[in-house]
Amino acid sequence: MSVETGIHSGRSAALLRVLIPVVMALIVGGLILTVLGKNPLDYYGYVLQRSLMRWGGAQETLTRMAPLLLIAAGLIVAFRAGIWNLGGDGQFLLAAVASAALAPALLSTHVPRAATLIVCMLVGSLVGALWSLLPAWLKARHGVNEIITTLMMSFLGTSLANVLIKLVLNDPDTTVPQTRSLPVDDRLPRLFGTTIHCGLVLAILAVILVHLMMTRTAFGLKLQVLGANRAAAVHAGLKVERLTLLAFALSAGLIGLGGAVEVLGVWGTVRADWNPALGLLVVPLVFLARFNGYAVIGFTLFFSALLVGGESAARRVGVPQHYVLVLVALLLLFLALVEYLDQTRRKPGTA
């Protein structure tokens, strides 16, 4: 390791690497709004006010982080092990549907609330993990590219979730097909009188544990070797097939847990055609955090605030809700660019 100097040293550099792209994205996004005749300062002001400045909005921002963090934890495991699990949406939705259907059923047979919630979260993780079994087996056994298989299983999973809701698990008392609703009092316990459910704590713990597992344990090291060089892993005598299956199961299981937590904590039911499609949105966050769990928490907070604040700010300023996606894309582009510039400055001559 060479000694770093100037603005690249330590934390201030890390902070700059995040701050510069954020400011750039906000400026360019603001220019787009100005061209359309809207006041960008109004928009940003509303975003900030709604997502962080008001207690209600801040609670929503924090609550929205829980599924994002669990998906991120799942992706960190997979990506560090060199596995492209891009099927998060299917794993997330099926787990959500399974736990949403199971919870009211268990409660009606007088299973205690705590046991119900724990069982439902476990079942959610299991369903997520099971949905990755086929791509995992194909990859481990036959080397079939997992990008195609996980994407296909994701399409299959979202359709299957809809079929289950419409034909099998629907609540006969509602007109819109949805699973039986879990009463608000039976959902995941709230933290200290706020509206934030304890899934957030679980999610933060999961990200930190995953980070420690990948960086500090022998198992994590094996997965990293697998990710860095598959041939080398075989050569070193690692059980590559088993490791691949385990990495897939852990990754999809955590994403499934995300689906279960979102449903048990916030919605209490899954409606037909509901698909938050968070799977792909979280991928870049994980990349930009360089697979680092602590950095992911920071990125997720920012991202969550943007999602929560962007929705109401768009209504107030008179732009469509999806304008926030433009900001997200700009942010990704600038983050990647700054990362690149930073790297080329560190080792001059190689780029």
Partner 1 sequence: MQALLTQPFLVSLLFGAVTAGLPLLLAGLGEQISEKAGVMNIGLEGMMLIGAYTGFLATYTTGSFWLGFLAGGVGGMCAALIVLFLCIRKGLNQIVIGIAITVGAEGLTSLLHYVEFSRSYPRLSAAPVFALPLLSRIPVLGKGLFSHNPLVYLCAILVAALTWLFRSTYLGISLEAAGNKPAALDAAGVDVIATRSFAVLCTGFLAGVGGAYLANVGAGLFVPFITGGAGVIGIVLAMLARGRPLWVLIGAALFGASLAMTTALQVAGINVPTDVVQMLPFAVVMLVLVIFARNSMLPAALGLPYVRGER
By CB under 8 A, what part of segment 251-280 binds partner 1? 280
Task: Name the helix (H) or strand (E) containing 126.
Answer: helix 113-131
77 touches partner 1 (CB under 8 A): no
Farthest CA pair distance, the chain? 69
Q: Are the CB atoms for 180 and 120 separated by under 8 Å?
A: no
> Which of 97, 117, 203, 327 is in the footprint of partner 1 by CB under 8 A?
327
- Work out the end-to-end distance of the chain between its first and last CA atoms, rounded to an integer number of angstroms: 20
159 touches partner 1 (CB under 8 A): yes
68 touches partner 1 (CB under 8 A): no
Neighbours of 172 (CB within 10 A): 5
For the record, the structure tokens of 186 come out as: 């039976």
Q: CA-to-CA distance for 306 and 291, rounded, in angstroms?
A: 21
351 touches partner 1 (CB under 8 A): yes
Kindly write out the interface string for residues 123-142 of this chain, putting x where it contacts partner 1 by CB under 8 A and - elsewhere.
Answer: -----------x---x--xx
Give the bridge partners for 179, in sequence order: 170
> Which of 16, 24, 160, 221 is in the footprint of partner 1 by CB under 8 A?
160
DSSP 269: S
Q: Nearer to partner 1 by C-beta: 99 or 158? A: 158
Residue 230: Cβ-neighbour burial (10 angstroms; 0-12, 13-18, 19+): middle
Nearest distance in Å: CB 174, partner 1:
17
Percent of residues in the chain assigned helix, strand, coil, to nearest 5: 75, 0, 20
Q: Nearer to partner 1 by C-beta: 117 or 288? A: 288
Nearest to 182 by CA among 261, 64, 103: 103
Q: Nearer to partner 1 by C-beta: 123 or 151? A: 151
For the record, the structure tokens of 152 come out as: 């296909």
Distance set, CA 105 to CA 160, 162, 190 (Å): 20, 19, 22
Count interface residues toward partner 1 (CB under 8 A).
Answer: 50
Neighbours of 216 (CB within 10 A): 10
166 touches partner 1 (CB under 8 A): yes
Helix/strand/coil for 179: strand
Q: Nearer to partner 1 by C-beta: 122 or 276? A: 276
- Range in contact with partner 1 (rule: CB under 8 A) among 41-49, 65-73, 118-126, 283-291: 283-291
305 touches partner 1 (CB under 8 A): no
> Which of 7, 23, 36, 176 is in the footprint of partner 1 by CB under 8 A?
36
143 touches partner 1 (CB under 8 A): yes
Q: Nearer to partner 1 by C-beta: 44 or 323? A: 323
Helix/strand/coil for 271: strand
Nearest distance in Å: CB 143, partner 1:
5
Nearest distance in Å: CB 99, partner 1:
20
**Which residues here bind partner 1, judged by CB under 8 A?**
32, 36, 84, 134, 138, 141-145, 147-149, 151-153, 155-156, 159-160, 162-163, 166-167, 280-281, 283-284, 287-288, 319-330, 332-333, 336-337, 339-340, 350-351
